[in-house]
C-alpha cells in the first residue's frame, strides 16, 4: 500500500546516483517530498506508521528498502543515523529527520506532529 | 447407640443374677445381621439375654433329647416381646414341653416363646440367613454361643447335655469349641472396634486439614489477585515474568503511598510548587513501571501482552499489554471539570491523536498476525525448520508493539500533566489510581463471590454494599 504524496519538497539534482554515499541518498530522497518514510515491505511496524499517516489524511512517500538495489547500504546508514536497530521505519518531514515510530508517536501525542505536517504542506486542515 | 455397647468384649465372666443389662454380643449383631436396635438391648427390660441363651441351649437340648418325641407346641403369650429373631430358629417345632431338668418357669416360657416365634416367623426372616448350615446347626451354634453366658446363671444350664452336631461330640469338646468360637468372636469384635476408631480418627484429622487448606487457598487467592494474579503462582512462569510480577506488586504498594500523598497534598491545600513536586513524583512513579515493562517485554512479551500480570477485570479490557489511553481520557474527561476552553480543546485533541495512534498500532499488529499465519499455516512446506525460524523472527516483533503501546501510554500521561493545572493534575492522577484500585478490588470480589444456586437477596445486597465504597461515576466499564 502506497500513499503517494503530491510533492512539495525541493528537488536537488545529483550526478552521484549509482556509486553514492547511502546517507546522502537518503537525505536527498527525504528532501524530495514533504513526508518521506523509509520502510521494508514485510515490516509490520512500517505498516503501522503508514496507517498512522494515512489515517491523519497525509500521503507519505514510501521507499521500500528491500525493493531497492541499494537498500542494504541505506539500512545500515539509517541504523547509524538512529543509533540503534531497527533501521525502519524512519520518517522525514520537510526534509528533516523526525525519527522512528516512538518519536513519531510522541510528537503526535504532544501535539507537535500536526503543526510540523502543516508546515511541510502535507496537511491542509 | 449410646445405651448399649454392641460389640464390646463384654462377655463377663460372672454376672450378678437377674442382671438384665449385660454386654453379651447378640448373635445377630456379631454376624452382621440386621437386628433392630430395640431388640439388641433393652435396658431394664424384663427380658434378659441370659434367659434367652439358656432357653436356646435348652431348646437344642430338647431337640436332641426329644427327637423321637412328637413336638408339643405351646403358643406363648409373650410372643410379642421378641420383635425378630433370625431364621436360625427356623427349627421344626420339635421342642416338647419345655420343662426339663430343673429349669425355671422363666426359661420355660422363654423357650416356648422362642418356639412359637420361630413357628410364626419362618418366612419373613429368611433373607437374613446367609449361612449355609442347616437350621439345626445354626440353632445349636447360637445355643453354644450363648451357653457360655448361660453357664453363670443359676440355672441348671451349666449341666449342658450333649447336643447333636454334624458328628457326635462330647460335652467337653462342645465346650471347647464353644469357647473357641466365643473367643474368636470377641477378638473379631475388638479388632473391628479398633479399626473403626482408627478410621474415625483419620476422618477427623482429614477434616481439619481440609478446612485449613480451604482457608489457605482463600487467603492466597485474595492476595494473589491483589498482587496481579501470578505472584503466588509456581511453575509455568518464566523468570522474567516472575521478576516483573514481583516488581509490579512492589510498584502497586508504592502507588498506594503516592496516592495517599496526593490526597493529603490536595486536602492540605499546599502551594502549587509543593503540589507540583508531588505530581512530578507521581509521574516519575509511572515512568518507573514503563521502564520495568521494557525489560519485561524483552524477557517475556507474552506475559505482558496476555495480561497475566494483571487482575482478570483489568485483563478483560486490556489493549496491547496495558490500558488503552483514549479510554482512560474518556473516563477522566467528565471528572476534570472545570476546564478552560483551551484545556478542553487540548484534552479532546489528546484523545483524538491517541485514538489515531492506537488504531495505527492495532493495524500493525493485525498485519503481524496475518504475516505469522501465512508463515505457519499449512500448505507445501519445503523446509520446516526454515519456516519456524522465519515465524520466530516475526514473533519477535511483538516486543516492539508492546513497547510502542507503553510509549503511547507514557506520553499520554505526560501530556495530561502538561495540559492541566497542577491541582487538576493531582486530582487526575488520584482518579486514575483509584479507578484501577477499584478495578482490582472488583476482580477480587468477583472471584470470591458465592456461587450457590440459592443466593438470597440479602447476599446480593451485601455485595452491593461492599461496592458502595466505589463511586459509580468513576467506573465506566461500558466505555472501556
Please list the pLDDT of chain B residue by residue as tens digits (480 residues). 444 444 444 444 444 444 444 455 555 454 555 544 444 444 444 445 555 555 555 555 555 555 444 445 455 555 555 555 555 544 444 444 444 444 444 444 444 444 444 444 444 444 444 444 444 444 444 444 444 444 444 444 444 444 444 445 566 667 888 999 999 999 999 999 999 999 999 999 999 888 888 888 877 776 655 554 444 445 567 888 999 999 999 999 999 999 999 999 999 988 999 999 999 999 999 999 999 999 999 999 999 999 999 999 999 999 999 999 999 999 999 888 789 999 999 999 999 999 999 999 999 999 999 999 988 886 666 777 888 888 898 999 999 999 999 999 999 999 999 999 999 999 999 999 999 999 999 999 998 888 865 555 554 545 444 444 545 444 444 444
> pLDDT digits over B25-80, tens only?
555 454 555 544 444 444 444 445 555 555 555 555 555 555 444 445 455 555 55
Tell whether B455 lies on the interface with A, counting CB pairs under 8 A.
Answer: no
| CA B28 to chain CA mean position, Å | 38
- Number of H helices and E strands in chain A, helices first, is 5, 4
- Cβ atoms of B146 and B49 closer than 8 Å: yes
- Cβ atoms of B133 and B141 closer than 8 Å: yes
Chain B residues lying within 8 Å of A47, measured CB to CB: 363-364, 367
Place of cell 422363666: B106
pLDDT at B127: 44
Tell whether A106 lies on the interface with B, counting CB pairs under 8 A.
Answer: yes
How far A42 CA lies from chain B's nearest CA (Å)?
A: 8
Q: Give B 358-377 residues with CB within 8 A of chain A.
A: 359-361, 363-365, 367-368, 371
Which has the closest alpha carbon to B248: B224, B282, B212, B281? B224
Which has the closest alpha carbon to B324: B336, B313, B311, B314? B314
pLDDT at B62: 55
Find the length of chain B. Answer: 480
Q: Where are the beta strands (DSSP E) in chain A?
A: 35-39, 61-64, 90-93, 96-99
Chain B residues lying within 8 Å of A51, measured CB to CB: 359-360, 363-364
Beta carbons of A110 and B418 less than 8 Å apart: yes
Residue B377: left (phi > 0), alpha (psi -120 to 50), or beta? beta
Beta carbons of A42 and B364 less than 8 Å apart: no
Q: What is the DSSP string of B129-156?
A: ----S-HHHHHHHHHHHHHHHHHTSSST
On whether the pTM is more than 0.80, the answer is no
Q: How far apart are CA B275 and CA B272, in angstroms?
A: 5
B387 burial level (CB within 10 Å; 0-12, 13-18, 19+): middle
> pLDDT digits over B198-212, tens only?
999 999 999 988 888
The three-class DSSP label of residue B82 is coil
Residue B422's alpha-carbon distances to B266, B284, B292, in angstroms, are 10, 15, 26
Among the partner residues B346, B363, B412, nearest to A51 by beta-carbon distance? B363
Residue A11's alpha-carbon distances to A97, B220, B258, in angstroms, are 17, 68, 55
Tell whether B351 lies on the interface with A, counting CB pairs under 8 A.
Answer: no
Residue B290's alpha-carbon distances to A57, B25, B224, B304, in angstroms, are 31, 79, 22, 12
Q: How far apart are CA B417 and CA A107, in angstroms?
A: 16
Q: By 3-state DSSP, what share of chain B in percent is helix, strand and coil, each rounded to 5?
A: 65, 0, 30
The three-class DSSP label of residue B284 is helix
Chain B residues lying within 8 Å of A42, measured CB to CB: 371
- Name the residue with higher pLDDT: B296 or A18: B296
Amino acid at each position: 500500500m502506497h500513499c503517494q504524496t503530491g510533492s512539495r519538497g525541493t528537488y536537488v539534482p545529483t550526478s552521484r546516483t549509482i556509486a553514492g554515499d547511502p546517507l546522502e541518498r537518503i537525505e536527498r530522497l527525504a528532501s524530495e517530498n514533504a513526508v518521506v518514510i523509509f520502510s521494508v515491505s514485510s515490516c509490520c511496524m512500517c505498516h503501522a506508521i503508514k496507517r498512522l499517516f494515512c489515517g491523519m489524511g497525509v500521503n507519505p512517500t514510501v521507499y521500500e528498502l528491500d525493493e531497492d538495489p541499494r537498500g542494504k547500504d541505506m539500512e545500515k546508514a539509517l541504523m547509524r543515523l538512529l543509533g540503534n536497530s531497527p533501521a525502519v521505519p524512519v520518517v522525514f518531514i520537510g526534509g528533516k529527520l523526525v525519527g522512528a515510530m516512538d518519536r513519531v508517536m510522541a510528537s503526535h501525542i504532544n501535539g507537535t506532529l500536526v503543526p510540523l505536517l502543516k508546515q511541510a504542506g502535507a496537511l491542509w486542515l | 447407640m449410646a445405651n448399649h455397647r454392641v460389640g464390646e468384649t463384654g462377655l463377663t465372666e460372672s454376672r450378678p443374677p437377674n442382671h438384665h443389662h449385660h454386654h453379651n454380643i447378640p448373635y445377630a449383631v456379631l454376624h452382621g445381621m440386621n437386628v433392630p436396635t430395640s431388640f439388641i438391648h433393652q435396658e431394664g427390660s424384663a427380658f434378659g439375654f441370659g434367659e434367652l441363651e439358656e432357653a436356646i441351649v435348652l431348646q437344642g437340648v430338647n431337640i436332641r433329647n426329644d427327637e423321637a418325641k412328637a413336638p408339643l407346641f405351646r403358643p406363648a403369650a409373650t410372643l410379642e416381646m421378641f420383635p425378630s429373631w433370625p431364621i436360625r430358629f427356623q427349627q421344626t417345632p420339635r421342642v416338647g414341653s419345655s420343662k426339663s431338668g430343673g429349669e425355671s418357669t422363666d426359661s420355660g416360657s422363654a423357650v416356648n416363646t422362642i418356639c412359637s416365634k420361630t413357628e410364626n416367623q419362618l418366612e419373613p426372616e429368611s433373607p437374613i440367613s446367609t449361612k449355609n448350615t442347616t437350621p439345626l446347626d445354626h440353632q445349636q451354634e447360637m445355643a453354644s454361643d450363648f451357653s457360655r453366658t448361660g453357664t453363670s446363671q443359676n440355672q441348671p444350664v451349666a449341666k449342658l447335655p450333649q447336643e447333636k452336631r454334624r458328628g457326635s461330640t462330647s460335652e467337653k469338646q462342645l465346650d471347647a469349641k464353644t469357647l473357641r468360637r466365643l473367643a474368636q468372636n470377641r477378638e473379631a469384635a475388638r479388632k473391628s472396634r479398633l479399626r473403626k476408631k482408627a478410621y474415625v480418627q483419620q476422618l477427623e484429622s482429614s477434616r481439619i486439614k481440609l478446612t485449613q487448606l480451604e482457608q489457605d487457598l482463600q487467603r492466597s487467592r485474595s492476595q494473589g489477585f491483589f498482587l496481579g494474579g501470578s505472584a503466588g503462582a509456581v511453575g509455568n512462569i518464566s523468570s522474567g515474568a516472575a521478576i516483573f510480577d514481583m516488581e509490579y506488586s512492589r510498584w502497586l504498594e508504592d502507588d498506594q503511598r503516592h496516592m495517599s500523598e496526593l490526597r493529603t497534598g490536595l486536602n492540605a491545600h499546599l502551594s502549587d510548587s509543593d503540589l507540583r513536586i508531588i505530581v512530578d513524583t507521581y509521574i516519575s512513579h509511572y515512568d518507573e513501571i514503563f521502564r520495568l515493562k521494557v525489560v519485561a517485554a524483552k524477557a517475556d512479551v507474552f506475559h505482558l501482552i496476555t495480561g497475566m500480570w494483571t487482575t482478570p477485570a483489568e485483563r478483560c479490557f486490556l489493549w496491547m499489554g496495558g490500558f488503552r489511553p483514549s479510554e482512560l481520557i474518556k473516563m477522566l474527561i467528565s471528572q476534570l471539570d472545570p476546564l478552560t476552553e483551551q484545556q478542553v480543546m487540548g484534552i479532546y485533541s489528546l484523545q483524538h491523536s491517541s485514538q489515531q495512534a492506537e488504531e495505527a498500532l492495532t493495524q500493525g499488529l493485525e498485519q503481524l498476525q496475518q504475516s505469522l499465519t501465512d508463515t505457519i499455516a499449512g500448505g507445501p512446506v519445503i523446509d520446516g525448520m526454515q519456516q519456524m525460524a522465519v515465524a520466530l523472527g516475526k514473533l519477535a516483533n511483538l516486543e516492539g508493539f508492546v513497547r510502542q503501546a507503553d510509549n503511547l501510554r507514557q506520553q499520554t500521561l505526560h501530556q495530561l500533566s502538561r495540559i492541566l493545572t497542577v491541582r487538576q493534575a493531582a486530582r487526575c492522577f488520584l482518579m486514575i489510581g483509584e479507578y484501577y484500585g477499584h478495578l482490582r478490588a472488583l476482580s477480587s470480589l468477583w472471584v470470591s463471590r458465592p456461587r450457590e444456586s440459592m443466593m438470597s437477596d440479602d447476599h446480593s445486597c451485601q455485595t452491593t454494599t461492599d461496592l458502595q465504597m466505589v463511586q459509580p461515576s468513576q467506573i465506566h466499564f461500558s466505555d472501556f
